[in-house]
Chains A and B, each alone.
Chain A
Amino acid sequence: DTGVSQNPRHKITKRGQNVTFRCDPISEHNRLYWYRQTLGQGPEFLTYFQNEAQLEKSRLLSDRFSAERPKGSFSTLEIQRTEQGDSAMYLCASLAGGKSSYEQYFGPGTRLTVT
């Protein structure tokens, strides 16, 4: 399967704990995006990378959130000191870049539940 993959698919954690999610994009895609989706809403942009460079962060991304893409391939999103309001689906998407730089392909998401 050459699509976007995310791990884990589900994560239940207690408030105050740290969690880390991983995203493996489509191999030839140089742009990688993170979004967050709460129930009944569309996804909201969090941050994106072009290769290993993090080029934009949303105001939604508080200081407790950090994302990396160290080698320009997979990416991780870490949430420190989780809060109940962090409960959401975290989605990763990748985009080829270049002339057809419109189409983002999403992974299956990581569902985070903070208790």
Chain B
Amino acid sequence: TQLLEQSPQFLSIQEGENLTVYCNSSSVFSSLQWYRQEPGEGPVLLVTVVTGGEVKKLKRLTFQFGDARKDSSLHITAAQTGDTGLYLCAGAHGSSNTGKLIFGQGTTLQVKP
């Protein structure tokens, strides 16, 4: 069974602080997506990383895919209250080509003013 372990599961910080969320697996993924989800809504795609070692930036968010394509991280600089939400990483397994995603359990981020 493929598993994606996210850490931490819960994070509460003050506005302006930096944070990093980690997503780790023993399996290799052909791609990895990061989503943000608000209560009662579906996940919203933030980024897709495909190449080992790839780094993508989305304003204050920096995403990195590990060299071996088994892990990823999300770094937020100068967090804002609007960043509050559930952050999910999800990997697509390369060999099956079904596109189905394996999700981590999520990191709940609370940014306090």
Residues of A within 8 A of B (CB): 4, 6, 31, 33, 35, 40-45, 48, 55-56, 91, 93, 95, 97, 101-109, 111
Contact = CB atoms under 8 A, between A and B. Distances in A.
B48 A106 contact: no
Contact of A56 (B48, B98, B103): B98
B31 A56 contact: no
A109 B6 CA distance: 23
A50 to B, nearest CB: 9
A48 B41 contact: no
B99 interface: yes
Given A42-B106, A102-B92, A104-B33, A56 B100 contact: yes
The A contact surface, by secondary structure, is strand
Interface residues of B, number: 26
B99 A33 contact: yes
A42 B42 contact: no
B90 A42 contact: yes
B45 A45 contact: no
Interface string B54-94: 00000000000000000000000000000000001010100
Nearest to B88: A42
Contacts of B30: 102
B45 to A, nearest CB: 6
A102 B99 contact: yes
Nearest to B49: A102
Closest 8 CB pairs of A and B: A42-B103, A106-B42, A102-B31, A45-B100, A109-B42, A108-B42, A106-B43, A102-B48
6 contacts: A43-B101, A56-B100, A101-B99, A105-B45, A106-B42, A109-B41
Contacts of B42: 4, 6, 91, 93, 106-109
Contact of A102 (B33, B43, B104): B33
Contact of A103 (B6, B48, B106): B48
